[in-house]
C-alpha cells in the first residue's frame, strides 16, 4: 500500500498561529514566569517554536507518556515513561501538547499534575479534534480545531515517522 501526505495546514499558517498563541500567553502571564511542560515526543516541535515567541520569563521541563502503539487507535492505557525533572509546586504551569484526541492522555496527566500543587495549571495544544473526545478536557489555548483525520508533522508521527515535517499533513493510503 502506497503512503503519501496531503497538506492540511501549511508551515506559514502554523507559524502565524504559534506567534498569536505566544502573544496571548505573554499577555495572560504578564509579570509572571511561565513553566512549560512538554509532552514528548509530539509536543517538542510546538513547544520550541512557542517558547521562542513568549516574552515573559520561561522555564521548561519534559515528560513522556505512552497511550498509543505503532497504530492509529488509542489503547486507552496511559503510562508515564519519563517523569518531570523538577517540582512544579507553586509554579504557573502550561502543559504543551501536540494534539488532544480522545482526551484520555491529558485528563490523566492534568489530574496527576494538579496533585503536585502548581500555582496554576493550563493546557495548550497545537491541534484539537473535538469530534473524537471521549473524556472531557478543558483546553485553555488551542491552535487549530481539525476534523477527525489522522495527521502528521510538526511533531506528530505515524509509526514514528513524519515528525520533522514543517507543516501538518494527512496520511493517505492509495
The number of residues that bind Mg ion (CB under 5 A) is 2
Tell me how far, at minimum, the Cβ of 41 lies from Mg ion, in Å: 7
Residues within window 90-119 making contact with Mg ion, judged by CB under 5 A: 98
- H or E stretch including 149? none
The number of residues that bind ligand IMP (CB under 6 A) is 18
Asked whether position 104 contacts ligand IMP by CB under 6 A, the answer is yes
Q: Report CA dihedral (53, 58, 62, 65) to the nearest 10 degrees.
A: -70
Active site residue 15: no
Residue 98 or 128 having the CB closest to Mg ion: 98
- Cα separations in angstroms, 155 against 18, 42, 60, 100, 144: 14, 4, 17, 13, 15
- H or E stretch including 106? helix 104-114
From the list 98, 101, 157, 174, the catalytic residue is: 101
Compose the 115-154 pattern: x for residues touching ligand IMP by CB under 6 A, - for all others.
-----------------------------------xxx--
Given strand 34-40, what is the order of strands in its sheet?
A: 79-82, 58-66, 34-40, 92-100, 120-128, 141-145
* Partner in contact with 113, chosen from ligand IMP, Mg ion, none, beta carbon below 5 to 8 Å by kind: none
What is the C-alpha to C-alpha distance for residues 115 and 57, in angstroms, rounded to an integer? 24
Residues that bind ligand IMP (CB under 6 A): 42, 67-68, 74, 97-106, 150-152, 156
Residues tagged active-site: 101
Amino acid at each position: 500500500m502506497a503512503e503519501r501526505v496531503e497538506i492540511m495546514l501549511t508551515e506559514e499558517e502554523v507559524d502565524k498561529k504559534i506567534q498569536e498563541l505566544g502573544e496571548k500567553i505573554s499577555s495572560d502571564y504578564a509579570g509572571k514566569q511561565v513553566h512549560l511542560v512538554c509532552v514528548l515526543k509530539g509536543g517538542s516541535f510546538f513547544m520550541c517554536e512557542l517558547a521562542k515567541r513568549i516574552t515573559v520569563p520561561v522555564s521548561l521541563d519534559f515528560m513522556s507518556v505512552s497511550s498509543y502503539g505503532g497504530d492509529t487507535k488509542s489503547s486507552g492505557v496511559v503510562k508515564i515513561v519519563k517523569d518531570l525533572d523538577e517540582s512544579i509546586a507553586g509554579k504557573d504551569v502550561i502543559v504543551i501538547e501536540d494534539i488532544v484526541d480522545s482526551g484520555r492522555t491529558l485528563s490523566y496527566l492534568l489530574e496527576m499534575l494538579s496533585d503536585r500543587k502548581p500555582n496554576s495549571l493550563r493546557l495548550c495544544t497545537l491541534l484539537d479534534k473535538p469530534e473524537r473526545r471521549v473524556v472531557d478536557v478543558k483546553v485553555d489555548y488551542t491552535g487549530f480545531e481539525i476534523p477527525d483525520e489522522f495527521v502528521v508533522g510538526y511533531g506528530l508521527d505515524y509509526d514514528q515517522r513524519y515528525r520533522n515535517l514543517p507543516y501538518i499533513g494527512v496520511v493517505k493510503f492509495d
